[in-house]
């Protein structure tokens, strides 16, 4: 018996005949991934622009390995290759790519992500700390650069 732990969505995702229209999908978020998935299934050409070096957004960078193993996430993201979604990583709109370049698409969907952070706001946080928010800490850990943690002060 196969379980969902052994099945990739790439094996059963089907694409409708091409409609001849291209949709750009910028930035990150599970909502953006869902939009790319459904648009591609409907036959639209989809290009996904990502600011980070790998796709997955918060799923990849903010959820710890023991909650969402990278190999499970990677297997789920294989569906985009199966649907011919073009993925671009390391592109920040307005910096690496001009906003005017979006004119080549018939439509654009921007999912800006949830990267606005609040300070940890705890009494033992040191100003010179390697991180100031929980997301900073999680990003560094997932990127293989866990910050040095000092002794907590009373």
Q: Is the pTM of this model over 0.75?
A: no
Nearest in space to 41 (alpha carbons), one of 78, 82, 76: 82
Q: Per the structure block, which two tokens stand in for 39?
A: 């648009």
**What does the pLDDT look like over 101-151, one tens digit per residue?**
999 988 888 887 666 777 766 655 555 555 567 777 788 888 888 766 666
In this prediction, residues 31-53 reach a mean pLDDT of 87
Which residues, 6 or more positions from 147, have their beta carbon under 8 angstroms from its beta carbon? 129, 130, 131, 137, 140
Question: Taking 60 as the threshold, does the pLDDT of residue 5 lie above it?
Answer: no
Between CA 147 and CA 154 the distance in angstroms is: 21
Domain spans, the chain = 19-114, 116-146
Write down the mean pLDDT value for the chain: 76
CATH superfamily of 19-114: FAD/NAD(P)-binding domain (3.50.50.60)
């Amino acid at each position: 018996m196969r379980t969902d732990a052994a099945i990739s969505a790439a094996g059963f995702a089907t694409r409708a005949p091409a409609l001849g229209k291209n949709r750009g999908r910028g930035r990150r978020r599970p909502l953006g991934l869902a939009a790319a998935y459904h648009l591609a299934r409907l036959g639209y050409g989809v290009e996904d622009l990502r600011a980070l070096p790998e796709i997955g957004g918060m799923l990849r960078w903010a959820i710890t390995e023991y909650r969402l193993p990278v190999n499970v996430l990677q297997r789920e993201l294989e569906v985009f290759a199966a649907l011919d979604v073009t993925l671009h990583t390391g592109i920040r709109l307005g910096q690496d790519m001009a906003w005017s370049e979006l004119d080549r698409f018939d439509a654009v969907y921007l999912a800006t992500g949830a990267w606005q952070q609040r300070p940890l706001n705890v009494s033992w946080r040191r100003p010179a700390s390697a991180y100031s928010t929980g997301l900073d800490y999680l990003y560094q850990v997932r990127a293989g650069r866990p910050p040095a943690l000092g002794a907590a002060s009373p």
